[in-house]
Chain A
């Protein structure tokens, strides 16, 4: 794209004399420091507004935050030196602001608990721990997956593992897989609860991408024509459809509306990217409409969600949404200021409704800025997909970027009443270990693809010269029987 592809080697901006370095690792570090400053400033605001005291400790928090992402930065420098320099700082900033908002909601909940004499445990220390684990995992993924194309070799393994992971909470007894808030999507491992679905998301995307690339030609050409659409042969389509249907079936059974929506949308978009045919999107959306029409009268919880969406202020089941809307409206354009609102009134203010908490205290201006950060992150991901040279990378990169976009749309749309509320978490922001871990893995893969896209092409061994077609040997082709 716009940056010229230049020689490899130089990692810090400006030092190399001749062609300007394009790895831009220095830019990344600079932006990470900026993110740390913003996050520390946000924390200072919360402390001033809430506790009215400031200690030097805040600076240590800021430094620790910078150190943590410095680790990620070093890993990127080491294993993906040409990766896009904006992606990691954006993730760091969104994650850091998320930590501040979770801390702020903790303060609100602590106050509430003090009033009613209930016991209270803060979520933020756990989330900080999860961030640390996530960054370690991020580094591991970058270090272990040296080339994203190797993933394609494990496509079926990935697909199968993904499906099993997805199905585990549904089949395991509730001692190991407890039902929490009406959904059976958690695995309990000792003191930890993880959502395997978050990881299945990435594994299945790898499978879809590899499969679609392998069978790409068949999807676009072979098959029979029906109603003006070329359909691939059923046996080519089957593994894809089976995996897709299974994954959606499982999450629907687990009552995880958001994840089923996510899987559906991701596959549809990957199918579209692979085949370049909008008709798949059309067919998919039609099927989706039919599915909704069938599911609506069958599932009470679907009806509740739709009712709450249509009448958030009247519906009894829409208490959360109602409180979130009140909060965001109270914030208005400029917000109440960090620490100055009352986001803790909204249930799940630090997880599913973290966006509402953010929008209450930072206002429409803050929310718009946050959405812009996400948009930039997604666009940077897509840009890598556009620039990478292999089809698998393009497809996976497109899928991963779209996964962030769709999660964001479903969450923010749900919280602000644009679409019915479903249980997804805002990527990098919401409280929740599994989501954070999985999204860091996702970003590691994106950076890996980005690195491949921006890596200066090593002068490849010259291709064996092909003989002009006129001089080519004739080949004996067996007569079709």
Chain B
């Protein structure tokens, strides 16, 4: 029986060799991939074992860590609560993270390459390694005002405010929102409850409407149509269609003005007046006149189709296929398949406010190492020259006229605002339109450019217009920015 025993010995050795080969595969060859897998909670535990950096805006701490005595040593706090959730995001050891917490994770947890030197000096000096702080461009007063304005009336919607000169994001608020503190706890069961509650809550509070939802822009899109017209040889005084309704080319469909009104008294009206009165017939014909190509090109120069990270990803805005003349007419007034993010609409007015120069929106002002040394600072970046300074000036004057005709409360004495409203139908059964307000102020020296959207008519239902529901919010945010901020 010795021969088979020797063979069994060889088989046993082969089995052990096989086990070792497989262990090599797991622990050496595939190790990095497995180690960095999102589901590997060990990396998260490591993160929680050192203090995570703060998120700061306007001198306020929006996210910080306090030491606890359980096995996840540091508890994340969000003093700003739901108002700032769209910018801070959450950081949860079960459900990962989003917002700045996710986008700047390597900085906040101290593993970013730019912190290598700090880590090295920590090692030498024996100091406990810590994450770096992220300072945001957000103006807390504006952010709070935007959130309070939206929620005090129970609206669902979003406000995005930009510094037109730098692209810095001054406010990015959503309603409804959520309290990130609810996802920062250390008990897995409790986290699961909170997570399920937030996900089943009406209105998707965890969706960042400002950058990841796309909406029909309605009449706010007429700024782009007007820009295309001015660049194609129109002047602010060019006579445009003033009829109360027109027939879309090659169809029997009638396209009416709002409430079926004529655009002024004559059969034509100056472009400025058509924009101020937001005449559909005029802008539909203008779009048809300048052509799909020019419309697309102008929209792109205002940021449509851009792949943007602010550093969170921004959904792309799009004009849709515009397959025939009728579609082109409807696209000219921001209907049909045109879809924009609130961020895109804010970018559009910020370009007009900044003499036609579109700046890249950016949320991070600077990053600061634990030793208070600045690691990285925002470098304003020009994305496009959307229109020439002359055309931008003409558009601004037209928007000032538009603001004068816009109803709604909250006008600010001594501050000239340039604005455009939009009331976008989106085909829901109750016909409750989204109300838009895009504006910048002061018109002569723009400090703030913003876009406000209130979904589904706000509290006014089918009667709502951008002017009645969105404009008051926008004006309050501008007021907070010009008086309360800085």
Q: How far in angstroms is the closest Cβ of chain B from A392?
A: 10
Q: How far in angstroms is the closest Cβ of chain A from B297?
A: 45
Q: Is B12 an interface residue (CB 8 A)?
A: yes
Tell me if A416 and B22 are in contact (CB < 8 A): yes
Tell me if A359 and B23 are in contact (CB < 8 A): yes
**A381-405 Cβ-contact flags toward B at 8 Å (1 or 0):** 0100110000100110010011001
Q: Is B196 an interface residue (CB 8 A)?
A: no
Q: In the bound complex, what is the Cα–Cα distance between A351 and B242 (angstroms)?
A: 83
Q: In the bound complex, what is the Cα–Cα distance between A412 and B15 (angstroms)?
A: 10
Q: In the bound complex, what is the Cα–Cα distance between A402 and B14 (angstroms)?
A: 13
- Which has the most chain B C-beta neighbours within 10 Å: A116, A326, A391? A326
Q: Is A345 an interface residue (CB 8 A)?
A: yes
Given known pairs A115-B72, A405-B15, A418-B18, the reply for A394 and B5 (CB within 8 Å) is yes
Which residue on A lies nearest to B24, using beta carbons? A364
Give the interface size class of chain B: 35 or more
Residues of B within 8 A of A272 (CB): 4, 7-8
Q: Is A111 an interface residue (CB 8 A)?
A: yes
Q: How far in angstroms is the closest Cβ of chain A from B16?
A: 5
Tell me if A114 and B70 are in contact (CB < 8 A): yes
- Which of B12, B35, B37, B187 meets A332, CB within 8 Å? B35
Q: Is B19 an interface residue (CB 8 A)?
A: yes
Q: In the bound complex, what is the Cα–Cα distance between A328 and B35 (angstroms)?
A: 9
Which residue on B lies nearest to A336, using beta carbons? B42
Q: Is B30 an interface residue (CB 8 A)?
A: yes
Which residue on A lies nearest to B72, using beta carbons? A115
Given known pairs A332-B35, A394-B1, A405-B15, the reply for A269 and B41 (CB within 8 Å) is no
Q: How far in angstroms is the closest Cβ of chain A from B337?
A: 36
Q: Is A409 an interface residue (CB 8 A)?
A: yes
Q: How far in angstroms is the closest Cβ of chain A from B271?
A: 58
Interface residues of A in 141-191 (CB under 8 A from B): none
Q: In the bound complex, what is the Cα–Cα distance between A323 and B41 (angstroms)?
A: 9
Q: In the bound complex, what is the Cα–Cα distance between A332 and B22 (angstroms)?
A: 13
- Which of A359, A372, A395, A405 meets B1, CB within 8 Å? A395
Tell me if A405 and B12 are in contact (CB < 8 A): yes
Residues of B within 8 A of A409 (CB): 15-16, 18-19
Interface residues of B in 1-58 (CB under 8 A from A): 1-9, 12-13, 15-16, 18-20, 22-24, 26-28, 30-35, 37, 39-43, 45
Tell me if A332 and B39 are in contact (CB < 8 A): no
Q: Is A371 an interface residue (CB 8 A)?
A: yes
- Which has the most chain A C-beta neighbours within 10 Å: B15, B26, B40? B26
Residues of B within 8 A of A379 (CB): 9, 12-13
Residues of A within 8 A of B1 (CB): 273-274, 276, 391, 394-395, 398
Q: Is B316 an interface residue (CB 8 A)?
A: no
Give the interface size class of chain A: 35 or more
Tell me if A332 and B31 are in contact (CB < 8 A): yes
Interface residues of A in 363-387 (CB under 8 A from B): 363-364, 367-368, 371-372, 374-375, 378-379, 382, 385-386
Residues of A within 8 A of B42 (CB): 326-327, 330, 341-342, 345
Residues of A within 8 A of B39 (CB): 313, 322, 326
Q: In the bound complex, what is the Cα–Cα distance between A394 and B24 (angstroms)?
A: 34
Q: How far in angstroms is the closest Cβ of chain A from B248?
A: 50
Interface residues of A in 417-453 (CB under 8 A from B): 417-418
Q: In the bound complex, what is the Cα–Cα distance between A362 and B3 (angstroms)?
A: 37
Residues of A within 8 A of B32 (CB): 329
- Which of B4, B19, B37, B70 meets A115, CB within 8 Å? B70
- Which of A112, A330, A378 meets B40, CB within 8 Å? A330
Residues of A within 8 A of B35 (CB): 326, 329-330, 332
Tell me if A367 and B27 are in contact (CB < 8 A): yes
Residues of B within 8 A of A382 (CB): 5, 8-9, 12
Q: How far in angstroms is the closest Cβ of chain B from A209?
A: 11
Residues of A within 8 A of B253 (CB): none
Tell me if B19 and A371 are in contact (CB < 8 A): yes
Q: Is A456 an interface residue (CB 8 A)?
A: no
Q: Is B66 an interface residue (CB 8 A)?
A: no
Q: How far in angstroms is the closest Cβ of chain A from B93?
A: 11
Q: Is B186 an interface residue (CB 8 A)?
A: yes
Tell me if A331 and B27 are in contact (CB < 8 A): yes
Tell me if B23 and A364 are in contact (CB < 8 A): yes
Q: How far in angstroms is the closest Cβ of chain A from B26?
A: 5
Q: Is B414 an interface residue (CB 8 A)?
A: no
Secondary structure class of chain A's binding surface, majority of residues:
helix
Tell me if B16 and A111 are in contact (CB < 8 A): no
Tell me if B34 and A367 are in contact (CB < 8 A): no
- Which of A326, A398, A401 meets B37, CB within 8 Å? A326
Q: Is A347 an interface residue (CB 8 A)?
A: no
Q: How far in angstroms is the closest Cβ of chain B from A307?
A: 17
- Which of A115, A276, A385, A398 meets B71, CB within 8 Å? A115
Tell me if A386 and B26 are in contact (CB < 8 A): no
Q: How far in angstroms is the closest Cβ of chain A from B9?
A: 5
Tell me if B27 and A332 are in contact (CB < 8 A): yes
Interface residues of A in 76-103 (CB under 8 A from B): none
Q: How far in angstroms is the closest Cβ of chain A from B214?
A: 31
Which residue on A lies nearest to B40, using beta carbons? A326
- Which has the most chain B C-beta neighbours within 10 Å: A114, A363, A409? A409
**A289-329 Cβ-contact flags toward B at 8 Å (1 or 0):** 00000000000000000000000010000000011011111
Q: In the bound complex, what is the Cα–Cα distance between A102 and B28 (angstroms)?
A: 25
Residues of B within 8 A of A368 (CB): 20, 23
Q: In the bound complex, what is the Cα–Cα distance between A461 and B290 (angstroms)?
A: 120
Given known pairs A273-B1, A325-B26, the reply for A418 and B72 (CB within 8 Å) is no
Tell me if A398 and B5 are in contact (CB < 8 A): yes
Tell me if B13 and A375 are in contact (CB < 8 A): yes
Q: Is A413 an interface residue (CB 8 A)?
A: yes
Given known pairs A115-B70, A367-B23, the reply for A398 and B13 (CB within 8 Å) is no
Which residue on B lies nearest to A378, using beta carbons? B12
Tell me if A413 and B19 are in contact (CB < 8 A): yes
Q: Is A218 an interface residue (CB 8 A)?
A: no
Q: Is A333 an interface residue (CB 8 A)?
A: yes
Tell me if A333 and B41 are in contact (CB < 8 A): no
Residues of A within 8 A of B24 (CB): 364
Residues of A within 8 A of B34 (CB): 325-326, 328-330
Which residue on B lies nearest to A402, using beta carbons? B8
Q: In the bound complex, what is the Cα–Cα distance between A395 and B2 (angstroms)?
A: 10
Tell me if A417 and B26 are in contact (CB < 8 A): yes
Tell me if B23 and A329 are in contact (CB < 8 A): no
Residues of A within 8 A of B3 (CB): 276
Residues of B within 8 A of A114 (CB): 70-71
Q: In the bound complex, what is the Cα–Cα distance between A418 and B41 (angstroms)?
A: 23
- 20 new A-B pairs (CB below 8 Å) besides A326-B42, A398-B1, A418-B19? A115-B72, A115-B187, A273-B5, A329-B33, A342-B41, A342-B42, A368-B20, A371-B16, A371-B23, A372-B16, A394-B5, A398-B4, A401-B12, A402-B12, A409-B16, A409-B18, A409-B19, A413-B18, A413-B19, A417-B22
Instruction: Pull 12 A–B residue pairs with CB atoms less than 8 Å apart, ordered by A.
Output: A115-B70, A328-B26, A329-B31, A329-B33, A367-B23, A368-B20, A371-B19, A372-B16, A375-B13, A386-B2, A394-B2, A398-B8
Across the A-B interface, the 9 shortest Cβ-Cβ residue pairs: A329-B34, A115-B70, A326-B40, A364-B27, A418-B22, A329-B31, A405-B12, A273-B4, A111-B71
